[in-house]
Each structure stands twice: as C-alpha cells, then as structure tokens.
C-alpha cells in the first residue's frame, strides 16, 4: 500500500523544521546586528579553509558593522533588549533542533 499520508507528514515536518530553525537563526542575527554586535567572521580563524572572504572584504564588513553600531538610534536599554532577544532566538533555535532529533530517536521514547 502506498501511504500518501506519510509523504505529507515528511513534507510538512521538513517545511516546519526548516522554517522554524532558519527563521529563528536569521532573527537572532538581525537582532544581534540591531544591538550593534553584528557578527563579522574573521578570516584568520579559518586559515585552513578556502578563503572566500578576503581580508579586504572582512575589513570592509567590520567597518560597516562599526558604522551601523555608531549610527544606531536605539537607546542603551533597547540595544540590551535586542541582544537578549538575539540570544533567546539562538537558544530557541538550538532547542528546536534538539527537539527534532529527540522526536526521531525511538530509544528516547521508551
């Protein structure tokens, strides 16, 4: 028998999982940027890798981040709130992934 419902479950679960995880992480990044703490990946920490991000570009992005931070109209309190929100998003994102893995491991349900 072809179990069409199972296909719908797989499609629904993967859509839900991806949307939740990607949205939470993106929102976290955005809030982090708003809080004036935009993540700039230092190419030095990826020495072994193919350097897609050149030092020049990294410096440019760091400059941009500083500019954003300095021109940030948010008050100190708002920034702090955004930072807390960002961390909350990251925690929720990790939580969502762990919950997803928990769901599929039968050994954890016994």
Partner 1 sequence: MPVDFTLIVVLVIALALVFDFTNGFHDTANAMATPIATGAMRPKVAVGLAAVLNLVGAFLSTEVAKTVSGGIIREGDGGVQITPEIIFAGLIGAIVWNLITWLRGLPSSSSHALFGGLIGAAIIGIGFQSVDYTVVVAKVILPALIAPLTVGVVAFIATRLAYFITRRDTGRADGRGGFRYAQIFSSSLVALSHGTNDAQKTMGVITLTLIAGGVQSVGSGPQLWVIVVCALAIAIGTYTGGWRIIHTMGRGLTDVKPAQGFAAETSTAATILASSHLGFALSTTQVASGSVIGSGLGRRGATVRWGMAGQIALGWVLTLPASAIMGAFAAGFALLGPVGIVIDLILGSLVVVLLFRRAQRSRISHDNLHDIDDAGRVVKIRKTPRKIARRDRKKVAL
- The residues of the shown chain that bind partner 1, judged by CB under 8 A, are 1-3, 6-7, 9-11, 13-15, 17-19, 21-23, 25-27, 29-30, 32-34, 38-41, 43, 46-53, 61, 64-65, 67-68, 71-74, 82, 94, 97, 100-101, 103-107
CB of 51 to partner 1, least distance (A): 6
Distances (CA, A) of 108 to 6, 16, 92: 22, 22, 21
Torsion angle, CA of 80/81/87/93, rounded to 10 degrees? -160
Residue 108 is given by DSSP the state G
CB of 96 to partner 1, least distance (A): 10
């Amino acid at each position: 028998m072809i179990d069409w419902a199972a296909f719908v479950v797989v499609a629904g679960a993967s859509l839900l999982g991806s949307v939740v995880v990607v949205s939470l992480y993106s929102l976290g990044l955005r809030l982090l940027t708003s809080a004036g703490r935009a993540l700039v990946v230092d190419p030095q920490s990826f020495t072994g890798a193919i350097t897609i991000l050149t030092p020049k570009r990294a410096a440019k992005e760091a400059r941009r981040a500083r500019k954003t931070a300095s021109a940030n109209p948010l008050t100190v309190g708002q920034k702090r709130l955004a930072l807390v929100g960002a961390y909350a998003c990251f925690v929720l994102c990790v939580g969502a992934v762990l919950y997803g893995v928990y769901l599929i491991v039968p050994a954890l349900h016994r």
